Amino acid sequence: MQSSTIQTDGLSQHILEAGTGPLVLLIHGFPELGISWRAQVEALAEAGYHAVAPDMRGYGSTGKPDDVADYSILHLVGDMVDLVRALGETSCVVVGHDWGAPVAWHCALMRPDMFRAVFGLSVPFQPRRPKGPPTPAMAAISKRLGLGDLYISRFQATDAHAVFDADPATALRKMFYAYDGATPDGRQSTGFIPEGQSFISTIPDDAPLPPWMSPEHFAEYVDAFSGRGFKGPVDWYRNLDLNWSLTAHLQDLRIRVPSAFVVGERDPVRHYAGQHEAGLKDWATDLRMQVVVPGAGHWIQQERPEAVNRLLLEFLNGL
């Protein structure tokens, strides 16, 4: 495995890579990094693929634009197009987890000529809502349920990242714990925040690291987010309504390339994104795999690397 920095058209991108062969691009989510894919990079390289896992825009050692609007879905997909080109390739299979999954789905939706197949983890494809932008709809759902604000709504505030920046180690430890499959019922996050609390305060103070997270691996995340902060990563969320306005041309468009979706049975994200799992086959018309991994939580490629690697290679080898 090697780390390097590549200058693409509009961004300096830091990548982790290994292997030679067909290109597989691995896109991380929040709050992760390219190193979240180490187990997959190793397995793919051994199987005869060129695996590349970038630190995404605003994360780690990749460029961090200041303007909130520079984190739109068009920028994120464009970064991946630029990266494929900078690697000397014309096509690849794209894999995405958490926020990386919507980026991967949209890579396949917008540029099927380049992204010849897509493998999503944890977050299913969510088609554009024709009735209006997403954040007012989220607020209405939260009000109806009476559970407080969905954290995504809270992330719209201009200072939403401040609570994370104040103590990155505590914030990261709590987030990894609250969305892990080994965390007991009642201590996992629901994603909803009661009035007067923050996303971090809803998670128990005695939250330990998940079983799969070594102190050394955790220190890599703490170092990265302590140095770069959380503003860029949270800016991804602040573009949800802008993304809606920028993608009117994609309304009702289907994903036609071969696709797969894998989710952990105990992934808390299913509380608010799971409704899209049942209809995924209608929007991804060549859906070849849809698997729920028993007992797994949200950090599925790190929690269950053997299962994810097996499913990913089965999908790739069937293309």
Q: Name residue, tokens 């714990």.
A: 177
- Preceding amide of 127 cis, omega within 30: no
* 61 within domain boundaries: yes
* CA pair distance 59, 145, nearest whole angstrom: 33
Asked whether residue 116 falls in the same domain as residue 202, the answer is no
Residue 60: the pLDDT is 97
How confident is the model over 7-29, as a mean pLDDT? 97
Residue 72: the pLDDT is 98
Phi/psi at 147 (5° precision):
-100, 0
Tens of pLDDT, residues 200-233 = 999 999 999 999 999 999 999 999 999 999 999 9
Asked whether residue 257 falls in the same domain as residue 181, the answer is no
Question: What CA–CA distances, in Å, run from 83 to 87, 167, 288?
Answer: 6, 32, 26
Partners of 24 in beta bridges: 51, 93
Asked whether residue 106 falls in the same domain as residue 201, the answer is no
Paired tokens of 165: 């920046």
Residue 247: the pLDDT is 97
Residue 147: the pLDDT is 83
3-state secondary structure of 54: strand
Residue 142 has pLDDT above 90, yes or no: no
Q: Where are the alpha helices (DSSP H) in the chain?
A: 38-46, 73-86, 100-110, 134-145, 151-154, 162-165, 168-178, 215-228, 231-238, 240-246, 270-273, 280-283, 300-303, 305-317
Tens of pLDDT, residues 238-251 = 999 999 999 999 99
To the nearest 5 percent, what fractions of the chain are helix, strand and coil? 40, 15, 40
Return the DSSP state at 269.
T
Domain that holds residue 144: 134-237
Domain boundary among 216, 237, 258: 237
Number of Cβ within 10 Å of residue 261's Cβ equals 25
Asked whether residue 149 falls in the same domain as residue 221, the answer is yes
Q: Are 207 and 174 in contact (CB under 8 A)?
A: yes
Paired tokens of 95: 């894999």
Residue 305: the pLDDT is 98
Residue 21 has pLDDT above 90, yes or no: yes
CATH classification at residue 121: 3.40.50.1820
Q: Are 172 and 180 in contact (CB under 8 A)?
A: no
Asked whether residue 15 falls in the same domain as residue 118, the answer is yes
Confidence band, pLDDT 50/70/90 cuts, at residue 146: confident
Tens of pLDDT, residues 39-81 = 999 999 999 999 999 999 999 999 999 999 999 999 999 999 9
Residue 260: the pLDDT is 98
Residue 140 has pLDDT above 90, yes or no: no
Asked whether residue 17 falls in the same domain as residue 86, the answer is yes
Paired tokens of 99: 């926020």
Asked whether residue 116 falls in the same domain as residue 180, the answer is no
Confidence band, pLDDT 50/70/90 cuts, at residue 144: confident
Residue 141: the pLDDT is 83
Over its C-alpha atoms, the chain yields an Rg (Å, rounded) of: 18
* 88 within domain boundaries: yes
* 281 within domain boundaries: yes
* 116 within domain boundaries: yes
Asked whether residue 72 falls in the same domain as residue 166, the answer is no
Asked whether residue 124 falls in the same domain as residue 204, the answer is no
How confident is the model over 150-171, as a mean pLDDT? 96
How confident is the model over 99-104, as a mean pLDDT? 98
* CA pair distance 267, 270, nearest whole angstrom: 6
Asked whether residue 68 falls in the same domain as residue 173, the answer is no
Residue 174: the pLDDT is 98
Tens of pLDDT, residues 185-198 = 999 999 999 988 99
Q: Using alpha carbons, select from 229, 224, 234, 239 the residue that is nearest to residue 75.
A: 239
Residue 255: the pLDDT is 98
Q: What domain count does the chain have?
A: 2
* CA pair distance 153, 133, nearest whole angstrom: 12
Domain boundary among 193, 211, 237: 237
Residue 183: the pLDDT is 98
Tens of pLDDT, residues 249-278 = 999 999 999 999 999 999 999 988 999 999
Domain boundary among 211, 237, 263: 237
61: left (phi over 0), alpha (psi -120 to 50) or beta: alpha
* 45 within domain boundaries: yes
* 242 within domain boundaries: no
* 244 within domain boundaries: no
Active site residues: 98, 298
Asked whether residue 57 falls in the same domain as residue 36, the answer is yes
* 243 within domain boundaries: no
Asked whether residue 256 falls in the same domain as residue 113, the answer is yes
pTM, to two decimals? 0.97
